[in-house]
Amino acid sequence: MNGMAVGSGSAPPTGRPTRLPRSARRKQLLAAAQEVFVAQGYHAAAMDDIAERAGVSKPVLYQHFPGKLELYLALLDTHCDAIVAQVRSAMVGTSDNKERVKGAVQAYFDFVDHESEAFRLVFESDLRNEPAVRERVERVEKGCIAAITDTIISDTGVSRAHAELLASGLVGAAETAAQFWLAAGRKVPKADAEALLATLTWRGIASFPLQGESA
């Protein structure tokens, strides 16, 4: 463990630079923490393991994060914000509602496919009963539902309560299907999986007329 002192701030004998800008160091620590949390789970992971994975001393790690929970929550915040932003982008990126549905589904599958570690960290956490963790997971669902709800209301004119229920169905289907697809080993090609779920969802939502049209 003596080698962990490398990266603590003073220049090591190797001459490797250790003083990174704070934002770059934080990003490095979060990446190392994600690897450890996904591999070991929150409860089994130790700050020593994370510091070693990042190549820094524990004091450097504690300069940025006062404890393991704060580090874990910072990771969740990063990924939770990212998936909500992807769904919002799908809603505002086109006025074609069929493409919006496809985009919302694709946001979840992209997250699972390209950020499978992050997906497991958010949706398969062994810390789901921790209030701060549960709040963040719920914030993802609420943020995605809100983005889709606003689009449904503006396009169909249904009540907010009805639109929220429809949006929750779409979000729930996308999340569950993406999670199943990952757990099953990606047996169905990603493009096919997205198309299947988008078609299923669209056939239901398309039955609601646009504003100004009769049912």
Q: What is the pLDDT of residues 31-90, one digit of tens each?
A: 999 999 988 888 899 999 999 999 999 999 999 999 999 999 999 898 888 889 989 998
pLDDT bin (cut points 50, 70, 90) of residue 209 is low
**What integer best gives the mean pLDDT of the chain?**
83
pLDDT score recorded for residue 2: 43
CATH of region 17-66: 1.10.10.60
Q: Where are the alpha helices (DSSP H) in 93-159?
A: 97-114, 116-123, 131-156
pLDDT bin (cut points 50, 70, 90) of residue 205 is low
Domain spanning 72-205: which CATH class is it, in words? mainly alpha
pLDDT score recorded for residue 41: 86
First-residue to last-residue Cα distance in the chain? 70
Q: What does the alpha-carbon distance between residue 147 and residue 150 come to, in Å, rounded to a whole number?
A: 6
pLDDT score recorded for residue 204: 65
Hey, where are the domains in the chain?
17-66, 72-205
pLDDT score recorded for residue 10: 41
- Decide if 82 contacts 34 (C-beta within 8 A): no
pLDDT higher than threshold 60 for residue 213:
no
pLDDT higher than threshold 60 for residue 3:
no
Higher pLDDT, 13 or 94: 94
10 Å Cβ neighbour count for 40?
Answer: 14
Measured CA angle at 198 (ends 155, 90), to 5 deg: 55
The string of pLDDT tens digits covering residues 77-134 is: 988 888 899 899 988 888 888 888 888 899 889 988 888 888 888 777 777 788 988 8
Residues shown for the chain = 215
Greatest Cα-to-Cα distance within the chain, rounded to the nearest angstrom: 76
